[in-house]
Amino acid sequence: MTPEELHELAQAHLEADKKLSHCLFVCGAAACLAARSDAVIEAFQAAVKARGLEESVAVKNAGCMGLCALGPLVRVEPAGVLYQQVTPEDAGAILDGLGGPPVERLVCPTDVPFYQRQFNIVLENSGHIDSESLDDYVARGGYAALAKALTAMTPGQVVDEVTTSGLRGRGGGGYRTGLKWSTVAKAPGQKKYVICNADEGDPGAFMDRSVLESDPHRVLEGMAIAAYAVGANEGYIYVRAEYPLAIKRLADAIRKAQRAGVLGNAIMGTTFSFQVDLRLGAGAFVCGEETALISSIEGKRGTPRPRPPYPAEFGLWGRPTLINNVETFANVPAIVRNGGHWFASIGTEKSAGTKVFALAGRVVNTGLIEVPMGITLREIIYDIGGGIPEGRKFKAVQTGGPSGGCIPQQYLDMPVDYESLAQVGSIMGSGGMIVMDETSCMVDVARFFMDFCRTESCGRCVPCRVGTTHMHTLLTRITDGSATLDDLALLEELCEMVKQTSLCGLGQTAPNPVISTLRYFRDEYLAHIVEKRCPAGVCRMTRAPKEVAV
C-alpha cells in the first residue's frame, strides 16, 4: 500500500461509516471481557440481525473506555452516549432506543471530571475503533505518521522531532527517548534491533496491556517509525504470556499490517523493511529489566547483567538495540503526525505529554486514566477518582509499584512529573497508582512490596537475593509484634546497603517502599514495635509479648 492508497482507504472507510446511522462500540478489553462483554457483543449482533439493521448499525469490538470497574461498557455513536454494566439482555432495549432518548437506567455520565479532566494521546483511539480492524485505525489517521516519516523525513529528522517533543521513557526510568534513539542511530554496525518492552510486571498495573488490546497498530506504527529512525530492520515485542488477548491482537495486527504493506518488506513502496516478531515472557518480573529481557529473547536465563555497556551499544545478539516501553512507542505516531512542538506544549517543561495511570485502591472510580503531566495528585484522586469512598480519610498514594514510594497527604497538591515524584521519595514508574486510606497499614504495605521483590529477585547478586529476604523477615517481625528497635535499625541499614550495592534496578529500588514509609509514617512503625499496636488495625500482632499486648 502506498501512502496515496493509504489515504484513499481512510477516505473510503470514513464514507462507509457515514452511511451508518449508528455505531455501537462494545469494550472487548480484558476487564470488560471478564464481565462477559463477549456475550454482550454477540447479543447486539443477534439483535441487529433480528431487526434487519445490518445496513445501518455496526457493532464493534472496541478497546478500553477507562471505567473498567463499571464494565461492560458500551458507547453509542454519533450520540456519544456511554452505557455501563450492560448485560446481553439489555441489547434489545438499547437498539430499540437508538435515535430516541438514551436508556436511562444504564447511562454512564461522561460530563463528569473522570472524563473531562483526562487528555488522550496514547488512548485516543481506545474505545473509538474496532481493536481488530486495520481499516478503523487507518480511518483515524493511523499509519499516516509512518507514511510521513518514510516519504517526507530523513531518519535524522525523525530523531530530531522526538528529541524536540521532550518525550521520556514511560517504562519507569524516564530516560529521554530522543537521546536514546540518537545513541542507537549513531552506534556503529549494520545490524540493529528495536524491542518493545511489554513485560508489564508491576502488581496491579495494566496500562500497557490495555494499549495493546485496544490499539495494537499504534504500537506497531511507533516501532516502525523508531526502526526507520535508528536504522533497524528487525524488531521484537516481548510480551508476557499472561496477556493472551494482547498477544492474540498483536499477532493479528502484525499479520494484517504485513498484508497491507505497512509492515514487512518494502513498506509503502519504499526501500524500508521492518519485520516484527513476538516473544513471550514466562512471567518473571525481572525480565522487564532490559538486559534480562534481552537475555531471555536470546534463549538464556532471564538475569540482568551489569551496565554499561548499555543495550543501545551492545544489546540483542551483541548488536545496538533500541528498547522502549509500549506507552513510549504509542506516543510516537502522534508526535510525528503533529510535530514535536505540539507534544512539548502538553504537560510540564521537563515532563512533556501525558501519562497513563492504572488508578486503583481506595477511590470511588478505579480504572485506566490518561492525564497531562503536571496535574496534581489531588485532581487525580478527588476529581477524576471521585475521592475516597465511605467518607474515609486519605492516607497516602503509592506510585511506581515495588520500586516506588508512598506519598502522604501534605504533597497532594504536588504536580505529577518525574522530578517532583522523585523529590518526595517516589517515582513515576510505569503507571501504577494505588490510593490508601486510614484502614491501610503502611508497614503492611511495605511488607507486601518486599515480599514481591523477594520472590521476584533473580538471585544473581547477593544484596538483592539475601537482603530482600532479610528485610522481609524484619518487616514480618514488625507486623507480628515480635520486633525490637534493633530490628528497625538493621532494617534501615539493609535498605541503604541493598539500594547502593545491588546489580540491577530491581534490587536498587526494592527498599524504596520501606524508605518512603519510614520517612512519612515512622510513628506507625514505632507503634508496632514499641506499643505492639497496629494503628490501622490491620496487623494481628500474633507474636507480641503478652504483657504489653493490647
Partner 1 sequence: MTPVPIPAGRVKTLKIDGRDVSGYENQTILEIARENNIHIPTLCNLEGLDDIGACRLCLVEIKGLARLLPACVTRVQEGMEVLTDTERLRRHRRMVIELLLSERNHVCAVCVSNGHCELQSLAQTLGVNHVHVPYRYPRMAVDATHGRFGVDHNRCILCTRCVRVCDQIEGAHTWDVAGRGVEAMIISDLKQDWGASATCTSCGKCVQVCPTGALFVKGKAVGEMTKQREFLPYLTLMREGEK
Ligand X SMILES: Cc1cc2nc3c(=O)[nH]c(=O)nc-3n(C[C@H](O)[C@H](O)[C@H](O)COP(=O)(O)O)c2cc1C
Q: Alpha-carbon distance 354 to 219, whole Å?
A: 16
The reply to whether 465 sits near partner 1 by the rule CB under 8 A is yes
Choose which of 3, 155, 216, 288 interacts with ligand X (CB under 6 A).
Answer: 288
Closest to partner 1 by CB, 232 or 312: 312
The reply to whether 468 sits near partner 1 by the rule CB under 8 A is yes
Q: How far is the CB of 532 from partner 1 (least distance, A)?
A: 19
Residues 402-441: x where in contact with ligand X by CB under 6 A, - otherwise, as a string: ----------------------------x-----------
The reply to whether 298 sits near partner 1 by the rule CB under 8 A is no
Choose which of 9, 69, 364, 490 interacts with partner 1 (CB under 8 A).
Answer: 490
Query: Taking the CB of residue 4, how many other CB atoms lie within 10 A of it?
Result: 11
Size of the site for ligand X (CB under 6 A): 23
Q: How far is the CB of 307 from ligand SF4 (least distance, A)?
A: 11
C-beta separation of 514 from 498 below 8 A: no
Closest to partner 1 by CB, 50 or 462: 462
Q: Name which of 166, 171, 186 is nearest 230 in CA terms.
A: 186
408 binds, among partner 1, ligand X, ligand SF4, none (CB under 5 to 8 A by kind): none
Chain positions contacting ligand SF4, by CB under 6 A? 286, 303-304, 457-461, 464-465, 502-504, 506-507
State yes or no: cis peptide before 545, omega within 30 of 0.
no
Query: Taking the CB of residue 492, how many other CB atoms lie within 10 A of it?
Result: 16
Q: Which cell is 545 given?
A: 509479648
Closest to ligand SF4 by CB, 368 or 506: 506
Choose which of 175, 342, 382, 448 interacts with ligand X (CB under 6 A).
Answer: 175
Q: Name which of 149, 274, 122 is nearest 209 in CA terms.
A: 122
Sheet with strand 81-83: strands edge to edge? 57-62, 22-27, 74-77, 81-83
284 binds, among ligand X, partner 1, ligand SF4, none (CB under 5 to 8 A by kind): partner 1
In this chain, which stretch among 190-198, 267-275, 492-500, 518-526 interacts with partner 1, using CB under 8 A?
492-500
Look at strands 354-361 and 367-372 and give their pairing. Answer: antiparallel
The reply to whether 426 sits near partner 1 by the rule CB under 8 A is no
Closest to partner 1 by CB, 6 or 312: 312
The reply to whether 461 sits near partner 1 by the rule CB under 8 A is yes
Q: Alpha-carbon distance 439 to 421, whole Å?
A: 24
Q: How far is the CB of 475 from partner 1 (least distance, A)?
A: 12
221 binds, among partner 1, ligand X, ligand SF4, none (CB under 5 to 8 A by kind): none
Output b/e per residue, 438-469; b: 16+ Cβ within 10 A.
eebbbbbbbbbbbbbbbebbbebbebbbebbb
In this chain, which stretch among 23-31, 239-247, 350-358, 496-504 interacts with partner 1, using CB under 8 A?
496-504
Look at strands 405-408 and 394-399 and give their pairing. Answer: antiparallel
C-beta separation of 474 from 512 below 8 A: no
* Burial class for 431, CB neighbours closer than 10 Å (0-12, 13-18, 19+): buried
The reply to whether 466 sits near partner 1 by the rule CB under 8 A is yes
Q: How far is the CB of 499 from partner 1 (least distance, A)?
A: 10
Q: Which cell is 304 given?
A: 540482568
Look at strands 234-240 and 74-77 and give their pairing. Answer: unpaired
Q: Alpha-carbon distance 339 to 316, whole Å?
A: 31
Give the residue ranges of DSSP H helices in 85-194: 91-96, 113-116, 134-139, 144-152, 155-165, 177-186
171 binds, among ligand X, ligand SF4, partner 1, none (CB under 5 to 8 A by kind): ligand X
The reply to whether 506 sits near ligand X by the rule CB under 6 A is yes
Closest to ligand SF4 by CB, 309 or 389: 309
Q: Alpha-carbon distance 501 to 512, whole Å?
A: 14
Closest to ligand SF4 by CB, 7 or 465: 465
Residues of the shown chain interacting with ligand X in the complex, contacts defined by CB under 6 A: 169-173, 175, 197, 199-201, 285-286, 288-290, 323-325, 328, 430, 504-506
Residues of the shown chain interacting with partner 1 in the complex, contacts defined by CB under 8 A: 284, 286, 301, 305-306, 454-463, 465-470, 473-474, 490, 493-494, 497, 500-503
